């Protein structure tokens, strides 16, 4: 009887250890969303692609990050449909503006939307932003 109990316990441990050490499959890339459709994906992690048509640099920056720069995609003020926020080198927001202004980009991240506002992605890490060839 003890041999049977030992065998059952060993089989359970072996089965559970296989699950514990199993590697998860790589996750699929986030879905692509048009800037005009971003409002229907609030709270989701997606990739939004479009052309940067306007930029805004505020007067004040954030400690440790510099000035946040807002980039409108596809539709400028006064009726933007989507924007993302990125940071330039400390004290030099023009550097990030030069990198993306008038270019097609794809930005990946979680879409947020302030009350009565425009959906956006906070791209604190510039690796979230990928410039695209003009043909795409």
CA distance 7 to 52: 65
Task: Please name the residue that has the structure tokens 């989701």.
Answer: 44
pLDDT digits (tens, 9 = 90+) for 72-128: 999 998 899 999 999 877 667 888 899 999 999 999 999 999 887 999 999 988 899
In this prediction, residues 12-34 reach a mean pLDDT of: 66
pLDDT of residue 100: 94
More confident call, 10 vs 95: 95
More confident call, 61 vs 97: 97
Residues 6+ apart with CB under 8 A from 7: none
pTM reported for the whole predicted model: 0.76
CATH of domain 32-131: 2.40.50.140
């Amino acid at each position: 009887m003890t041999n049977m109990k030992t065998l059952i316990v060993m089989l359970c441990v072996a089965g559970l250890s296989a699950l514990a050490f199993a590697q998860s499959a790589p996750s699929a890339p986030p879905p692509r969303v048009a800037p005009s459709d971003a409002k229907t994906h609030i709270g989701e992690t997606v990739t939004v692609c479009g052309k940067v048509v306007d930029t805004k640099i505020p007067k004040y920056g954030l400690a440790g990050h510099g000035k946040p720069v807002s980039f409108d995609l596809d539709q400028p003020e006064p009726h933007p449909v989507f924007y993302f926020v990125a940071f330039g080198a400390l004290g030099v927001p023009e550097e990030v503006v030069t990198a993306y202004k008038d270019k097609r980009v794809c930005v990946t991240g979680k879409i947020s939307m302030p009350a009565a506002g425009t959906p956006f992605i906070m791209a604190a890490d510039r690796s979230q932003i990928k410039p695209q060839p003009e043909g795409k």
